[in-house]
Amino acid sequence: MEAKRDGEAGGLLEVRGLTKIFGALTACDRIDLSIGRGEIHALLGENGAGKSTFVKMLFGALEPAAGTIEWKGERVSIPTPGAARRLGIGMVFQHFSLFEALTAAENIMLSLDEKAPIMQIAERARELSKAYGLPLDPFAHVGDLSVGERQRIEIIRCLLQKPDLIILDEPTSVLTPQEADKLFETLETLRDEGKSILYISHRLEEVKRLCDRATVLRHGKVVGHCDPRQETAASLARMMVGNDVEAVKRPADSAGAHETLLEVTGLNRPAANPFAVPLRDINLSLRAGAVLGIAGVAGNGQGELFEALSGEALQDVAAAVRIRGKAAGRLSISGRRLLGAAFVPEERLGHGAAPYMRLSENLLLSRHATDGKTLLGPLGTVRNGALTAAAERIVTAMDVRMSGANPEAAALSGGNLQKFIIGRELDRQPAVLIVNQPTWGVDAGAAARIRQALIDLARSGSAVLVISQDLDELFEISDAIAVMHDGRLSSPLPIAEATFERIGLLMGGAAPEHHVGEAVETA
Amino acid sequence: MRLELVKRPQRSALFSTISPLIALVLTMAAGAIMFSVLGKNPLDALYYYFIDPLRETWSLHELAVKAAPLILIAVGLSVCFLSNNWNIGAEGQFIAGAIAGGILPVVFPDFQNGLVLPLMLLMGFAGGAAYAAVPAFLKARFNTNEILTSLMLVYVAQLFLDWLVRGPWRDPGGMNFPETRDFHAFAILPELMPSAGRAHWGIVFAIVAALVLWFVLRKTLTGFEIRVLGQSPRAGRFAGFSAPRMVMIAFLISGGLAGLAGISEVAGAIGQLQPSISPGYGFTAIIVAFLGRLNPLGIVAAGFVLALSYLGGEAAQISIGLSDKAARAFQGMLLFFVLGCDTLIHYRIRLAGRAPTARGEAAQNV
């Protein structure tokens, strides 16, 4: 292999032939990987490539079917996460497991193997947070903290166990660019102390910037080890996907007067529960042919805005939301769909799709009101033939990969299910499409396809609203970007004027709205 | 050392299908052990329980009499359970239906014509539905726990019936026995084949209800709505379905069917109101619903199995002197094994190592 650091200061972790089989699927197929001390090692791969399965075996959450793990030169077996922690392997999960009603210190205490008084834990957490530049108040309630701060709790909780190897699963997916920079500094400090990091990401730029070595997985197999600094983003992507990822094409929006398809005026929504963000005076207007991106750090009201727009939460004033000119604020989600709107929520399983229902049934989920004529028969019977045919049409159009015909939604990988859910709405040719996190946790190939589909829909005369935490994505597809912070929405910045820095500052809440408004006017 | 349930990556289709049968076999095995402990020959006991009642026509009719209310109630409960509404109060709704339907023959005994029976059945359905509407409204409006409210209303209904038949509705010519006057001829649910046995139209209602609900659940958008709201409420809301509306619908259907079962029982099998009109049909129907896998057609089969356990209990009591409580124990074991088999289809048991690490794992594995 091309790796330069092999053997340097002795390998920390040496994995050989690690294999995991689920039924007919070989999720990990004889994976070899070695990590030296003081190394940041990237694990790259599309969704469903086996990254999570591999990491779960290292962390003792899954049992390998074959293969060996050598830790500090000794062969070990890791039956439980507790065993992994005792060896010195720590993990920061992509989805945090924190109790919102408890404080940071209490959450940390719950996960420690040893019993220690809360004050002592808080003190140690404070020391660590100072040492690694991770500002954190141990007595703050998690419910009041931003996602970035919650991640810091997870990292500190992991560091408290004094691990030699820290596994980070997609850590920057929830951070502002500025927060991500801070995290990189922390990781570099840890590396300089001789700790090793296994860094899972699909963001090639940050892998190039941060990581010393990379292992690329595809379809459960290692396709190569490389030094990401010697590679280009395109060459890394090619290794991950197996062929070139087509760049998303954004043809110019045809100029001229387009009718406004979605208009939101003075939308307010009180917080539905103690952990929700109230929406304050949201205004936006979206015309045919355009993609409007809404950026923002998670938990600043994006979910609440989506529910308000979709009709899952009704408005007090009908005119607060207008779809194709009609006041829709008092209409249910079905009523809004009948006006020509379509919605794709953030959570795929359990919100956008019912996990244990088949794809054809999941098609019915969002289409029964608008496509009653074709999908339903007399007496409200469901026409299974028409459903299956429509589901197959979507599967073909969006290139959804699955095992067996018409599987349950939960059996699909995240990317493939997302392609199906987006395809389900595109299939209707909606006039207005509102999408929350279209490519969250979706592999590069599928993400490119989804983004292209969104642009194509807009250019064919629809209005597309994309809520996303992925700035690269928004810059790729949007004609203008607005930022949500603390339940407020900034004025949109035309894409030509938007920069990472400006958007990043708005995401952090640094610049008040009227500044942006002025900036747009003066531009 | 500690037991842990670990989710299986895949459910076995084979075991999902035969799990009710496995549960039945396990129940019989456990029952045989119970009988030997009670000092009876287990083979004899099982014979009287499960074979003897099937040997004669009249007792097959008895089986239908017992199965009718169980099936009627259980198919209604399947709608509730599938939509994640835990109606435990079918016994109370059964009694409410019997009381509401009994108003005509008891309070207006002189109103005698062909309209009486259809009206009684309608009032029975309405009475059960109205009684179920109470926990449903409380859940839909105030988010109360329907398990508690529906269960507590069972005791209210039982005591109310008890008071009625001892008080205002007591038969004036009944020598002070706590029971109402006998229903007049127009108020009696006819027997299907009077010469052969006592089976009445209740079993027909039960099978029709099962067929209709099978069609609704399997073939219609409403059935889809019920299942989606039960499995993933948020996806159901995204689909434009209303959870509070579904709470009302599910409770009204199951309450109505329990009420219909109640009036069919008193107008068919008993012929008057008494302090106690049900050997726990409303609770046993919960077992029927699960043994039938919440599928109305499966419930028809399961209804006969549980009806057999009632009859077998009586037979075993008479012939070998087993306590009538044995039948209840039998039913309880059956529910235990059905739920146990279902759980083990989805999960496997793992012996976990040292307990102290478990807390941390649980927190991290969420």
CB B292 within 8 A of CB B298: yes
| Rounded average pLDDT over B102-129 | 96
Q: Judge contact between A462 and A429, C-beta under 8 A.
A: yes
* Gap between the Cα atoms of A511 and A509, Å rounded: 6
**Mean pLDDT on A98-126:** 86
For A38, other C-beta atoms within 10 Å of its C-beta total 19
- Interchain CB distance below 8 Å, B228 and A354: yes
Min Cα distance A111 → chain B (Å) is 4
Q: Which of A277-291, B252-266, B306-320 has the highest mean pLDDT?
A: B252-266
Q: Which class for B204: exposed (0-12), middle (13-18), buried (19 or more C-beta within 10 A)?
A: middle
Q: Decide if pLDDT at B226 tops 50.
A: yes
Please give the pLDDT value at position A113.
74
Which tokens in the block code for residue A371? 């496509």
pLDDT tens string A333-359 = 999 999 999 999 988 889 999 999 999
- How far apart are the C-alpha atoms of A427 and A398, rounded to whole Å? 10
Q: Of B209, B193, B192, which Cα lies nearest the Cα of B71?
A: B209
Indicate the fold that domain B57-320 takes in CATH: ABC transporter involved in vitamin B12 uptake, BtuC (1.10.3470)
Phi, psi dihedrals of residue B236, rounded to the nearest 5°: -65, -40
| Closest CB from A93, A361, A381 relative to B219 | A381
Region B189-217: mean pLDDT is 94
The model's pLDDT over A194-205, given as tens digits with 9 standing for 90+, comes to: 999 999 887 788
SS3 A287: strand
Q: Which residue has the higher pLDDT, B351 or B252?
A: B252
The dihedral through the CA atoms of A179, A185, A190, A191 has a sign that is positive
Q: Are A419 and A446 in contact (CB under 8 A)?
A: yes
CATH number of A260-522: 3.40.50.300
Q: What is the pLDDT of residue A429?
A: 93
- On whether the CB atoms of residues A376 and A361 are closer than 8 A, the answer is no
List of residues 6+ apart from B230 with CB closer than 8 A: B81, B82, B83, B84, B85
Over range B29-43, report the average pLDDT: 89
Whether residue A93 and residue B364 make contact (CB cut-off 8 A), yes or no, is yes
% of chain A at pLDDT higher than 90:
46
Answer yes or no: do A347 and B234 touch at CB < 8 A.
yes
Residue B353: pLDDT band (50, 70, 90) is low
- Of A47-51, A436-440, B152-156, the one with minimum mean pLDDT is A47-51
Domain with CATH 3.40.50.300 in chain A: 11-241, 260-522
Contact: A366, B232; criterion CB under 8 Å: no
d(C-alpha B160, C-alpha B98), whole Å: 12
Give percent above pLDDT 70 in chain B: 96
Which one of A78, A93, A98, A381 makes the best mutation probe of the B interface by having the most chain B beta carbons within 10 Å? Answer: A381
Has the ipTM of the complex gone over 0.85? no
Cβ burial of B6 (10 Å; 0-12, 13-18, 19+) is: exposed
Q: Most B CBs within 10 Å: which of A59, A93, A113, as the mutation test of the B interface?
A: A113
Q: Decide if pLDDT at A522 tops 70.
A: no
Confidence of residue A2 (pLDDT cuts 50, 70, 90): very low
Most confident range (mean pLDDT) of A46-60, A85-99, A298-312, B123-137 is B123-137
Picking from A136-150, A476-490, B101-115, which range would have the lowest pLDDT averaged per residue? A136-150
Distance CA B211, CA B296 (A): 7
Domain ranges of chain B: 57-320
The tokens of A339 are what?
A: 């006006």
Measured between alpha carbons, how far is A207 from A51 in angstroms, rounded to an integer?
Answer: 15
Amino acid B358: pLDDT: 38
pLDDT at A458: 94
Rounded mean pLDDT, A492-505: 89
Residues in chain A with CB shorter than 8 Å from the CB of B239 are 333, 364-366, 368
pLDDT band at B275, cuts 50/70/90? very high
Calculate the average pLDDT of chain A: 86
Phi, psi of B7 (to 5 degrees): -65, 135
d(CA A241, CA A259): 40
A7 in contact with B, Cβ within 8 Å? no
Say whether pLDDT at B308 is over 70. yes
> Nearest-CA distance from A270 to chain B in Å?
20
* pLDDT for A515 beyond 60: no
In terms of Cα–Cα distance, which of A4, A35, A440, A46 is closest to A216?
A: A46
The answer for residues whose C-beta is within 8 angstroms of residue B8's C-beta and 6 or more apart is: B345, B346, B347, B348
User: Which pairing describes strands A326-327 and A321-323: parallel, antiparallel, or unpaired?
Assistant: antiparallel
> Cβ(B6)–Cβ(B346) under 8 Å?
no
User: In this predicted model, what pLDDT tens digit does every residue of B56-71 receive, in sequence order?
Assistant: 899 999 999 999 999 9
Please state which CATH number belongs to domain A11-241: 3.40.50.300
As a whole-number percent, the residues of chain B with pLDDT over 90 amount to 68
From B220, B227, B360, residue closest to A113, measured CB to CB: B360
B346 bridge partner residues = none
Q: Which DSSP string corresponds to A447-511?
A: HHHHHHHHHHHHHTT-EEEEE-S-HHHHHHH-SEEEEEETTEEPPPEETTT--HHHHHHHHTT-S
Confidence bin at A427 (pLDDT 50/70/90): very high
